[in-house]
Structure 1
């Protein structure tokens, strides 16, 4: 993917281990570790236009409103909507187009989000970006869209985009929370095959998401303890719900 991103996981791994294990340096070592994590993550996010705050301008608001209206009036078809996408949406500035996609994702308008997703990928300024794909996949997980998920995942792999360990943790948790455990474990298998060094925090995220699925959680727990033999898998009290843990 991006060479500038590849060096970050090692920094994050070292800093997080220092922060959460103490590193033998006491409280100040922990503080230094957490500061290093924050700096590394800030640097990573600054590389992606999809992590910047996207203000919705008047043009973007009008486009979202009209797309929704045309989609309803077309009965879910594509007649007038497709014409609007060609004549109006295709002329949007980059900032407006990205904010439109973000707003459609926020409203869980999957059909319209997929339309803008395809337009974005054809823009001359488009560059493959794992944040772009992460946002799409999490929206699709919320809406339990299996076929669209596979399309987006195939697009991502065809463009050579590679998630880091933290992103895998977020995606796997999203699909587990949605009850789509088959897809969640497919992502998990890809995570296990990733050349990036394993990090314990994503495993914690995944294990929490798999609480309703004891057999799958046992499988991930086994992998976790093999990778991090000196760590403990926390089990929630039986009278405590998943949301409260």
Structure 2
């Protein structure tokens, strides 16, 4: 955060989507929620807007960091974005939401509403367990 503050005070500094993306991803990985909120406030104040792919990257970083509530806050920002939705960021988010089935269902419903002709793959929960059971029973 010290470096973040120094960079933003430099004369050459210009608000940049990638700078903010990298900061948020790093903070998510390190579970620095308060710092991430501050960075988010700064980017809004500087009128930095993310494209759909960048939103997907950031949301996935928060999910991978074990911060689903914060990820869903950013997801709501993504849904309000003026950019047209794209299916790939939704797929990235849906994959990150596998450990959070209730949240995943909400995003999946949004995805199916936005992209009605596209199928969402849901892997069976016991996929690997079944394979393990088969190999045990085959060996008997």
Residues paired across the two proteins, number: 128
**Which consecutive aligned stretches of 4+ in structure 1 deviate over 4 angstroms post-superposition?**
none
Residue 147 of structure 1: aligned partner: 34
Please, which runs of 5 or more residues in structure 2 have no aligned partner?
130-140
Residue 235 of structure 1 and its aligned partner are, at CA, apart by 1.0
Residue 131 of structure 1: aligned partner: 18
Residue 96 of structure 2: aligned partner: 209
Query: Are 2:1 and 1:120 aligned?
Result: no
Query: Are 2:56 and 1:175 aligned?
Result: no
Residue 47 of structure 2: aligned partner: 160
Residue 199 of structure 1: aligned partner: 86
Residue 178 of structure 1 and its aligned partner are, at CA, apart by 1.1
Query: For 2:7 and 2:63, how far apart are their aligned partners in 1?
Result: 28
TM-score after normalising by structure 1: 0.51
* Cα shift readout 1:128-164 (whole Å, capped 9, x = no counterpart): 0010000000000000011000000000100000000
Query: For 1:144 and 1:216, how far apart are their aligned partners in 2?
Result: 19
Bigger Rg over Cα: 1
Residue 136 of structure 2: aligned partner: none
* Cα shift readout 1:37-71 (whole Å, capped 9, x = no counterpart): xxxxxxxxxxxxxxxxxxxxxxxxxxxxxxxxxxx
Query: Are 2:120 and 1:219 aligned?
Result: no
Q: Which has the higher contact order (CA 8 A, sep 6+)?
A: 2
Query: For 2:97 and 2:34, how far apart are their aligned partners in 1?
Result: 22
TM-score after normalising by structure 2: 0.89
Query: For 1:224 and 1:122, how far apart are their aligned partners in 2?
Result: 40
Query: For 1:236 and 1:163, how far apart are their aligned partners in 2?
Result: 30
